[in-house]
Amino acid sequence: MLLKAFVLLSLASAPPAKPAASAGCATTNIETALQHLTAHLKTAVPEASKDDSVDNSAMYFAEEAVGQTWTVRDVPNGYVSTGNDAGTRYEAALFKNPEGYHLAIVGTGDSVINTAVYRCDKSGLTLEREGLEVPLEKAIELYANAGLIAPKGKPGLTRKDLKDWGGSILAYHLPRKGRAIRITSYVDEPNSAYGKDLGTLEYVQSKFQVVPLKTKAR
């Protein structure tokens, strides 16, 4: 009887167990994650099409992306891409965490960046609509920290140019290894600004966090 009471007290005082991920979210395989996403979208996309009040562009982009032929397959590192073919280039990467994973997809082409991020945990797959999005003001600060904005009164790229830009001003490069997404400039006027490193999106505690370059002296 005393032993039974001791066991019950021990169980009562133990910290609650962390919720386990669902079976579909325990994978470390990028191809398996994409298969889960494909199955999820077969239900989610038709349902989303019934509601015009919600911006479902990221979901439709994900549907477009998973139908691609992945010519680069680095499955052990959780990465696939369509290579460097003409037109839109697609990348997908898996970011594992204790509750499951995040699946990130990026498409680049014609001065436009498309992104989709899905979290997979005990509740299943969930679209995080702004998973990789960097607010415009913060994006402009990344340019400033990298020394790409011309001093006031000098020729070159200005904050107004970036605010008025007609497309994406940031490009995202998913990692083949590691947990950091490289961010580069995506404006091509002036040409000298295009493709410059601006910082990273670090995957920390199950979230993508912006880390700028160290501020350069003007």
Distance CA 218, CA 136 (A): 22
Distance CA 107, CA 150 (A): 29
pLDDT of residue 47: 81
> Is omega for the bond preceding 190 within 30 degrees of 0, making it cis?
yes
- Among candidate residues 217, 212, 216, the one with its CA nearest the CA of residue 142: 212
Per-residue pLDDT of the chain (218 residues; tens, 9 = 90+): 444 443 333 434 454 444 445 666 889 999 999 999 999 999 988 887 777 767 789 999 999 999 999 999 999 999 999 976 667 899 999 999 999 999 999 999 877 899 999 999 988 999 998 899 999 999 999 999 999 999 987 888 999 999 999 889 999 999 999 999 999 999 988 888 999 999 999 999 999 999 998 754 44
Query: Is 68:82 a contact under the CB 8 Å cutoff?
Result: yes
Dig out the tokens for 172 from the structure: 């995202």
Distance CA 115, CA 105 (A): 6
At residue 106, φ and ψ (nearest 5 deg) are: -130, 140
SS3 180: strand
Distance CA 48, CA 28 (A): 28
Distance CA 117, CA 47 (A): 19
